[in-house]
Amino acid sequence: MATIDDENVVAVKRLHVGYARAKLEFENEVKLISNVQHRNLLRQLGWCIEGSELLLVLEYMPQGSLDNFLWGERKGTLNWEKRFDIIFGVARGLAHLHNEFHVKIIHRDIKLSNILVDDDFQPKICDFGLARLQPEDQTHVSTNLVGTLGYMAPEYATIGHLSEKVDTYSFGIMILEIISGRRCNDENFSGPDTSHLLEHAWQLYERGMQIELIDQELGIEEHHKANVTKTIEIALMCTQSPASLRPTMSEVVVMLSSGLSMGPRKLVKPSFIDSRRVIHFSANQSKYK
């Protein structure tokens, strides 16, 4: 954090360069976000490269990251309306990156700690250091593996198959965390038959008991339960495999804003990777090639 012009507070991201790749990663982030302007994307205010000192000047978000509101000192302060607005805002930010910018930008590391909130609880997607550009004439690119286990789409974790649907998968996991108040890979969680949040959500969906996924600290009024149930179903739709079954983020925005699904899509059991790096495949898929 720093103050400029004696009154404007900004965030300063500082990188220590020990190797050439770090400077390239920094330049990548600068180029990606320098022209991106959207209410749900953290705004870049300036940057500097001089020798080994790399500085990125960004909007300052005093509320901090979203994980602090679910698992940190601000736990229990988000009601359902705020949580849904955050989900919707992140969806709009990703749709902008994927479809509304002059190139397709894939973030590659969507998770709660990379979602900041402003004073009005509007979410801001941050940390574009891992982002990649996808050429317009390609459906995917092959790339070295980066990101966070638990949020990582199976086709990306296994063979490096990167498309915008990798962000869609991570977004689906993030929805389940926001609704349940539980970390996606918390093996110490007691109660469900499985320690993995995505599998637990699917089991509840199969039984028609999605409402039991809701965070116990979140008091849901009766008239909100249908909206919560639909949002859980959207999250499961976002985590299906193969990636072609997942909606685009623009479709997700429509579904969230209208409360309707995108036609008669039958959900397929999702695949996931647990904290031991064991891949759990969906019923219709034995392996990725």
Q: Which residues are catalytic?
A: 109
Residues with Cβ within 8 Å of residue 27, at least 6 apart in sequence: 49
β-bridge partners, 123: 117
Pairing of strands 53-59, 44-50: antiparallel
- State whether residue 228 is helix, strand or coil: helix
β-bridge partners, 9: 3
CA–CA separation, 15 and 89 (whole Å): 28
- State whether residue 239 is helix, strand or coil: coil
CA–CA separation, 165 and 240 (whole Å): 10
Helices (H), the chain: 20-33, 67-70, 80-95, 154-159, 164-180, 197-206, 225-238, 249-258
β-bridge partners, 50: 53
- Contact between 177 and 70 under an 8 Å Cβ cutoff? The reply is yes
Question: Which of 281, 97, 261, 102 lies closest to 171 in space, CA to CA?
Answer: 97
